[in-house]
Amino acid sequence: MLERAPQEDDPSERAHGWWVPHQHSEWQHVGGLGEWVQQQGDLPDPRKMLDVTSPGDQSRWIPLRGTFGWEEPTSAADDTHYMQRCRLALHVQAYVVRSEHLEAVRRWCAAQEPTRWSMPEPVNVHEAFHREFPWAFAWGHEYPSCDEWVAALDQELPHPVFPATAQFSLGVSGDCSGAATRIAVPSPWLCRRLALRHGGADGAFTDAGGATVVVDPSVTKGGSQAVLIRADQLRAFLARGDRGILWEARWLKQVIGGWNDLDAYGSMDVCGIYTMDESGGFSGSAKSEHTPPSAS
């Protein structure tokens, strides 16, 4: 019997799991919260966030999507509505790009200011049944955008791209084909290209032999949502040569809590744009931008 995945409200619980690429514990802000927001020395290289290892078989996995968050620890006696504390977030999203356009798109994205432009988000599907993804008529008819190239003109991109993932949310009508209420999935195009099918566990997609190729481990284990693909399968896909993958890895530092100073310290965005090379490593660059506090 399938069981509903645990849903934690505590950010410290969501930040654990073998697929979480970083465990943050540096919360010192001796120079004040404003100085903490602006410093970047405590942030790992975004490229290191694009590679995780399963502790079971030591297999290498690459995130196609991931949303992770950490908050400065508090005690049971603290009122978090009034107490200001540091928060760090990491968002990873991969995009499919035609190989001949990959480097041009990477250079263009890397040149943009992090807070003034962002890549398109994956479609969020509400009504189609999860276990009918992606072959059912409802997916192609009601949600064509999850399978279409995002027009360059619409996003100011030099060439079209599309997110390598989609997101399924349980609709109000109910869905008995899967247990979790939110599941991140590979895009329909990627499912067809890799000949993926649903595995025995929700959130897992396998090849014809039953081996898991893509998985959102949070569906069965709880924690931060992520879409992971086996590194060897990804490299085989890229070796075909007609499509490439572009990753956006974005850090956000800010101070939360407190009734009167929600934006008293501004925020720091660090956005990296990367591609995978033939050796399986990542190349690219990151750019940072500090947003000053709003005038009160």
pLDDT in tens, 109-156: 999 998 887 788 887 776 667 777 777 666 665 556 555 676 555 567
In a domain, 14, yes or no: no
- In this predicted structure, what is the pLDDT of residue 151? 58
The vertex-184 CA angle with 183 and 187, nearest 5°, equals 130
Tokens of 222: 């709880």
The alpha carbon torsion through 156, 159, 164, 166 (nearest 10 deg) reads 40
Q: Which residue has the higher pLDDT, 230 or 1?
A: 230
d(C-alpha 227, C-alpha 95), whole Å = 13
Statement: residue 226 has pLDDT above 70:
yes
Residue whose token pair is 């050796």: 279
Q: Is 87 helix (H, G, I), strand (E, B) or coil?
A: strand
d(C-alpha 291, C-alpha 266), whole Å = 5
The vertex-56 CA angle with 55 and 57, nearest 5°, equals 105
Tokens of 155: 């996003």
- Does the reported pTM lie above 0.75? yes
Of 2-6, 26-30, 129-133, which has the strongest mean pLDDT? 26-30
In a domain, 54, yes or no: yes
d(C-alpha 294, C-alpha 288), whole Å = 19
In a domain, 218, yes or no: yes
227 pLDDT band, cuts 50/70/90, is very high
Question: How many distinct helices (H) and strands (E) make up the chain?
Answer: 8, 14
Statement: residue 274 has pLDDT above 70:
yes
- In this predicted structure, what is the pLDDT of residue 141? 58
Which residue range forms the structural domain that includes residue 226?
30-291
In a domain, 246, yes or no: yes
In a domain, 3, yes or no: no
Contacts for 86 with CB less than 8 Å, ≥ 6 apart: 27, 29, 33, 36, 37, 71, 72, 253, 254, 255
Mean pLDDT (whole number) for 26-50:
90
125 neighbors 139 (Cβ within 8 angstroms): yes
d(C-alpha 189, C-alpha 23), whole Å = 33
Q: Is 295 helix (H, G, I), strand (E, B) or coil?
A: coil
Give all strands (DSSP E) within the chain, no chain letters.
52-53, 60-71, 85-98, 124-125, 161-163, 165-169, 182-186, 197-198, 204-206, 212-215, 226-230, 243-256, 267-276, 282-291
- In this predicted structure, what is the pLDDT of residue 93? 96
Q: Is 124 helix (H, G, I), strand (E, B) or coil?
A: strand
Residue 25 falls in which region: left (phi positive, over 0), alpha (psi -120 to 50) or beta: alpha
Statement: residue 50 has pLDDT above 80:
yes
Looking at residue 16, its amino acid is: H
In a domain, 145, yes or no: yes
In a domain, 272, yes or no: yes
In a domain, 2, yes or no: no
* Structural domains in the chain (count): 1
Closest by CA to 87, choosing from 246, 247, 266, 291, is: 266
19 neighbors 226 (Cβ within 8 angstroms): yes
